[in-house]
Structure 1
Amino acid sequence: MRTVTVEDVTIGEGLPKLIVPLVGQTSEELIKESEFISQLPCDIVEWRVDFYEKVLDFSIVSSFSKTIKKAIKKPLLITFRSKKEGGEKELPTEQYFQLYQEIIQNGQCDLLDIELFMPEKEVSETIALAHQKGIKVIMCNHEFHHTPSMEEILSRLQKMQDKNADICKLAVMPNTPEDVLTLLTATETMYREYADRPIITMSMGALGMVSRITGELTGSSATFGSAVKASAPGQIPIGELKEMIETLKLS
């Protein structure tokens, strides 16, 4: 299996990497949050630009990404999470890709989040453009109401590989303990039988919290923890998350 390296962080080897979201709404909040997160024991910072009050001014977003990158002193993942997948704002598909093209061409980031069920042509073009600039792509899908079958989880992760994502990410919502086990089993099966690049999976909410600390066992190569505010249900404060993962490490 190939790994993904951004700066001095290699995703897909060793313990799961720790990712913390930036969710400030104003530039001032984001700068303070970035400076705070730079001191935390995380590997990667995710800027959730759908929280940003100036997100509709794409040039401001791309320019400000350089400010954030300098402040965090860590690899930067940029994400606009669509409303249908749990994001803060709605953005027409055309503008979603325009925003990303502006960030790729004139901003600064190490990784870019692209959703699986966006139009195929635009997804392919955006991935190709990101790769030209040395930016790695995390392709993702979120289910906020249920956990799909094991077969469907495997199918979606394999589709992400087929679309040339560097990292494949899936988050689901459990309604029963069996749902959590379905996600964990599917993750381990994907990792063992089908994956040729890093995968990231999680079962959200309190019920699925265990999935955020078992990545080394199941093959999930990164996990998300909170700093100031969680960006998804069930995120564990990053300091506690790091301690849990270190305690549970296999070797």
Structure 2
Amino acid sequence: MTTNDGRLRLRGTTLGSGVPKVCVPVVAATPDAAVADVRALPAGVADVVELRLDHLVGAAGDPAVARHAVRAVRAALPPDVPLLATFRSAREGGAQPADDDAYAAVVRAALAADGADAVDVELAARDAAALVADAHGAGLAVVVSQHDFAATPPADDLVATLRRQRDLGADVCKVAVTPHDADDVLTLLTATRAFSRDTDRPVVTIAMGGLGVVTRVAGEVFGSAMTFGTVGAASAPGQVDAVRLRAAMGLLHDAL
């Protein structure tokens, strides 16, 4: 869990230290397909695996689907690779709709599965505070997130959002935005740097789409602790191949 110097250790991965860690999303439609995708991951490519529960057919209506998938994927993962369970709401780019009650039920099913190391909770969720408390009670770390698929808010607003996530109890604070020009990318990086200088926990920031690829590569310079890379299907616009991403980040790290 979070250390007193702002790092977060999950199994064999420490966020907030050195090269940003690579999280590989699994976006399969069934638990069996998710297990197959995990078993096909090249050794060493994923520091964290994110199971996208919203891509599982029927998960919003039957939380048992999510619970089964979390258990099955955990069993298929190497013991040192942590599992992040995420049900992304449709309002923030998820694959299937879920009202507030359904969203909370799926998140709680992931907590009850005894397989995830961390869970994503959206800052905008009606039950966000209760879900964070439940996750901590179950011994899981929490990524509190916000995703803007329309624009990039001003830097001060982004910092305020990250602070609200921290105050809610986030172990990792995460924002993703949509840039429309290079200035938007600079806005995100400015906010990342400002918040990372004044926080005691890891921050993850991403500008989506092609313009934002630089934010996926250069996080170490500005204070972002994790990025997302693909092995197969992407879960958000602008995600790049995880192997090439690791190589690019390593090149930058060696030059620092």
Give the alignment's TM-score, normalised by structure 1. Answer: 0.95
1:168-187 alignment to 2 at 5 Å? 168-187=173-192
Cα distance in 1 for partners of 2:67, 2:186 equals: 40
Shift in Å, 1:40: 4.7
| Kept in 2: contact 1:38–1:72 (CA 8 A) | no
Shift in Å, 1:34: 1.0
C-alpha offsets along residues 99-147 of structure 1, whole Å, 9 cap, x if unaligned?
212221234200100001112xx22221112112210000000111111
Structure 1 equivalent of residue 62 of structure 2:
57
SS at match of 1:197: coil
Cα distance in 2 for partners of 1:126, 1:93 equals: 12
Shift in Å, 1:58: 1.2
| Kept in 2: contact 1:54–1:61 (CA 8 A) | no
Structure 2 equivalent of residue 117 of structure 1:
124
C-alpha offsets along residues 179-237 of structure 1, whole Å, 9 cap, x if unaligned?
11111111111111x22211000111001110001111000000000111110011010
| Kept in 2: contact 1:12–1:221 (CA 8 A) | yes
| Kept in 2: contact 1:44–1:76 (CA 8 A) | yes
Correspondence 1:101 to 2:112 = no
| Bigger Cα displacement from structure 2, 238-247 vs 5-14 | 5-14
Give the alignment's TM-score, normalised by structure 2. Answer: 0.93
| Kept in 2: contact 1:63–1:107 (CA 8 A) | no
Cα distance in 2 for partners of 1:175, 1:10 equals: 32
| Kept in 1: contact 2:34–2:69 (CA 8 A) | no
Correspondence 1:148 to 2:153 = yes
Shift in Å, 1:54: 3.4
Structure 1 equivalent of residue 165 of structure 2:
160
Structure 2 equivalent of residue 87 of structure 1:
94
1:182-193 alignment to 2 at 5 Å? 182-192=187-197
Correspondence 1:39 to 2:43 = yes
SS at match of 1:47: strand
- Equivalent residue letter for 2:169: N
Structure 2 equivalent of residue 72 of structure 1:
77
Q: Alignment RMSD, CA only?
A: 1.3
SS at match of 1:170: strand
- Equivalent residue letter for 2:211: L
Cα distance in 2 for partners of 1:233, 1:151 equals: 24
Following TM superposition, the consecutive aligned residue runs of length 4 or more in structure 1 with deviations greater than 6 angstroms are none
| Percent of residue pairs bearing the same amino acid type | 34
Structure 1 equivalent of residue 21 of structure 2:
17
In 2 relative to 1, CA 107–62 (structure 1 residues): closer, same or farther, beyond 3 Å? farther
| Kept in 1: contact 2:88–2:94 (CA 8 A) | yes
Structure 1, unaligned stretches of length 5 or more? none
- Equivalent residue letter for 2:68: S
Structure 2, unaligned stretches of length 5 or more? none
- Equivalent residue letter for 1:228: G
Cα distance in 1 for partners of 2:113, 2:177 equals: 33
Structure 2 equivalent of residue 207 of structure 1:
211
| Kept in 2: contact 1:38–1:71 (CA 8 A) | no
Shift in Å, 1:38: 5.7
| Kept in 1: contact 2:71–2:113 (CA 8 A) | no
